[in-house]
Chain A
Amino acid sequence: MSQASAHVSLRGVTKTFPSAAGGELHALGPVDLDLRRGEFLAVVGPSGCGKSTLLELIAGLSPPTAGTIEFEGRRIAGDIPDGIGVVFQEDACFPWLSVEANVAFGLRKSAIEPAAKTKRVREVIELMGLTDFAKSYPAQLSGGMRQRVCIARTLVKEPRLILLDEPFGALDQQTRLLMGDEVLKLWRQTGATVFLITHALDEAAMLADRIAVMSARPGRLIDAVETNWPRERDSRIVERPEFGVITARLWKSLREESLKTIGRAK
């Protein structure tokens, strides 16, 4: 695929941080990656391999040390482009705002009129199953509910690119499957491009069109698995035989890297 036609395009993207010892910590890359418009891409990789770092580079939250990132044909260099929504790995609810106000925060910069805003906020809250808690404060919610508030705050903007960093980490397996279904439905309805980081191989295999596998730090792409699922799909595809094949391949690619991460490489 040419760089221009991709929705998001990364070329030679590298990130180093100043390390505590005074040297440099090579966290990521070089990474080359293209996301097709409307594609659902999942990223798996061992802990600390640079997944969140990669997400923040794409979001424009920090500039890459080397390489270029383009979103919709425009280069991102540490500035935040319009049309991107992020759900962070950590709890990012604003504790002084009610659930409703947290979600409405996502529409601060949007031009739509107040009545339409209120309506959209209410709809998204309902979609996330938080209607009874609209007036509650984040401290009164469970971890999983808070994560749903953050997802709602992102969805309400209807971003064209959604970056999700382990958004279901705080959820139980059943809820996780159902939230996965919701995300698939939204993805189909909005046509957004989705970039999902997860540590759950089955979640990646169930949701994504394509799964990028990252090496241990410094994170590089070591495998890309096309799932070839139909666009119309839900969590029931886990019953299909291909599902087992995909997760087995992911694990095969990852096992060695994960061993490196916990210091057991041979």
Chain B
Amino acid sequence: MTRVALYRVLVILAAVLLLELLCAIGVIDRITMQPPHLILRDLGRILISGKQNAAILKTMTNASIAFSLALLVGIATAAVLHGYRALRETLDPLFATYYAIPVFAFYPLLIVLFGLGDAPQIGIGFMLGVVAVIVNTLNGLDRVPRVLRKAALIERLGAAEVALKVALPYAAPYVLTGAKFAVAYTLIGIIGAEFIMSRGGMGYEISFAYNNFDNATMYPLIVLILAVSISINTALSWWEKRLLARRGL
């Protein structure tokens, strides 16, 4: 382990220990928060008992669907937009201000459109994630050196092949950057949606536990969401680094 990595672990450990201490001496009371070791114990209990499995499964399934859609639609949209300059310039202001729009404000509208099932939640997750993929993929496509496109044309590749075999592979590290944002954003969208208006899912369970002062459920679920999001993010970062290292970057 490098020295920096060691420092990072030490910082995290120190923060956890500090929480532990604040809980132990009563600065943080039990109604506000459990000490970290109890949160972990409760998380273990929840996972073993399986009583939250339905909620976890629902949230993770919806998040996966929203993320996959955001990724596929995002990449495809970027590839098409990159070829149509006028269209892209028209949409640029939308992308630039997109994350200033509170998507949740549209939640009632989505319910009207898609009903009360999982669809509006997936819709919000997708809407939050997709633009990060589009913007980052476009950024990558803009960087493809012209000579590489020419080299592909000389090998008699058609427009679609140039996009799939040259432009997108070149842009892959940038697409991954977008994917990392999309993981976080879709989770925010899905869980936020479950919070406001849903009869199930981790967001719903967290808010239900909160309303019932059930810290033994609330904090472990929060920790679980953090763990999932951070693990996926780390895996994507690792992949991204590998691709960049291959290019000497």
Q: Do A and B interact with each other, yes or no?
A: yes
Which A residues are within 8 Å of any B CB, using their own CB? 56, 59, 61, 80, 82, 84-86, 88-92, 94-96, 105-106, 108-109, 137-140, 150, 153
Q: Which residues of B contact A138 (CB under 8 A)?
A: 247
Q: A88-B150, A138-B247 are in contact. List 5 more A-B contacts (CB 8 A).
A: A80-B153, A85-B154, A96-B246, A108-B157, A109-B157
> Given the complex, which residues of A lie within 8 Å of B150, measured CB to CB?
56, 61, 86, 88, 92
B130-148 CB mask vs A (1 if < 8 Å, else 0) is 0000000000000001011
Interface residues, chain B, with chain A CB atoms under 8 Å away: 145, 147-148, 150-151, 153-157, 166, 169-170, 172, 243, 246-249
On chain A, the residues within 8 Å of B169 by CB distance are: 94, 96
Which one of B154, B157, B246 contacts A95 once the chains associate, using CB atoms below 8 Å? B246
Choose one: B155, B243, B249; the contact of A106 (CB below 8 Å): B155
Q: Per DSSP, are chain A's interface residues mostly helix, strand or loop, or mixed?
A: loop
Which among B145, B153, B155, B243 is the interface contact of A96 at CB below 8 angstroms?
B243
- Complex Cα–Cα for A82 and B155 (A): 9
Within 8 Å CB of A139, what residues of B?
Answer: 246-249
Most chain-B CB neighbours within 10 Å: which of A82, A139, A150? A139
Q: How far is the CB of A158 from chain B (nearest CB, A)?
A: 14
Whether B154 and A80, one on each chain, are in contact in the complex, defined by CB atoms closer than 8 angstroms, is: yes
- Known: A95-B170, A137-B247. Contact between A61 and B153, CB under 8 A? yes
Residues of chain B lying within 8 A (CB to CB) of residue A137:
246-248
Q: Are A90 and B147 in contact (CB under 8 A)?
A: yes
Min CB–CB distance A173 → chain B (angstroms): 25
Given contacts A96-B243, A137-B247, contact A90 B145 (CB under 8 A): yes
**Closest chain A residue to B146, Cβ basis:** A90
Q: How far is the CB of A250 from chain B (nearest CB, A)?
A: 28
Q: How far is the CB of B163 from chain A (nearest CB, A)?
A: 14
A-B contacts, 29 of them at CB < 8 A, read A61-B150, A61-B153, A61-B154, A80-B154, A84-B154, A86-B151, A86-B154, A88-B147, A88-B151, A89-B147, A90-B147, A91-B147, A92-B145, A92-B147, A94-B169, A95-B246, A95-B247, A96-B169, A96-B172, A96-B243, A96-B246, A106-B155, A108-B157, A109-B155, A109-B156, A137-B247, A139-B246, A139-B247, A153-B151
